[in-house]
Amino acid sequence: MSLRTIHALGFALLCLLLFAQNASATGNLDCSINDKQLNFELFALTGGTGGIVQVNQGSIEIKVGDDTALRSRRAIEQKHIEHQWIYGNELRLRIAIPDTKGEPAGSLILIGVYKSADDSYAGRYVLSLDQAGGEKVFKGRMKCG
């Protein structure tokens, strides 16, 4: 092979690498909980890396605990997602629950395992609320599609 051919192949390979687009898929994540402890909805877009890249709509209303101010429905936004792990067959989200001033008043942790039969994550949630006298913890079932 001549030096000219080697340079041409190297240049072609470099161009291919520069113009190749990364393969990244997006998906929807829809979570909904409505039980005796809370009413929670999250409609978000996930990116190719498995994390939430955009929250389209999110809200939470706490039905338990001492703080009656938390019982009003409030928005959940991208900035409230403190931790996220959506990888393989696991889903783990930690969402800060804002009070009326936007300060953290507790957290909601979602832990799920992927079920291929209905293309969803099923598992449990842990709701932690800062209350007078300490933290109160409530648990329940969750499902995200």
Tell me the per-residue pLDDT of 97-139, one tens digit each, with 9 for 90 and over: 988 888 888 999 999 999 999 999 999 999 999 887 789 999 9
Contacts of 5 (CB under 8 A, 6+ apart): none
Q: What is the mean pLDDT of the chain?
A: 83
pLDDT in tens, 80-99: 999 998 888 999 999 999 88
- Euclidean distance between CA atoms 140 and 145, whole angstroms: 17
Is the C-alpha dihedral spanning 102, 104, 108, 114 positive or negative? Answer: positive
Q: Where are the domains of the chain?
A: 23-144
Enter the CATH code of domain 23-144: 2.40.128.30
Judge contact between 55 and 77, C-beta under 8 A.
yes
pTM surpassing 0.75?
Answer: yes
- Euclidean distance between CA atoms 140 and 13, whole angstroms: 54
Q: Tell me what pLDDT residue 51 has.
A: 79
For 62-79, letters b (16+ CB in 10 Å) and e give bebbebeebeeebebeee
- Euclidean distance between CA atoms 110 and 140, whole angstroms: 10
Residue 18's SS3 state is helix
Which pair of structure tokens corresponds to residue 111? 């832990």
pLDDT in tens, 17-76: 444 344 456 788 999 999 999 999 999 998 866 678 899 999 999 999 887 878 889 999
Q: Tell me what pLDDT residue 52 has.
A: 87
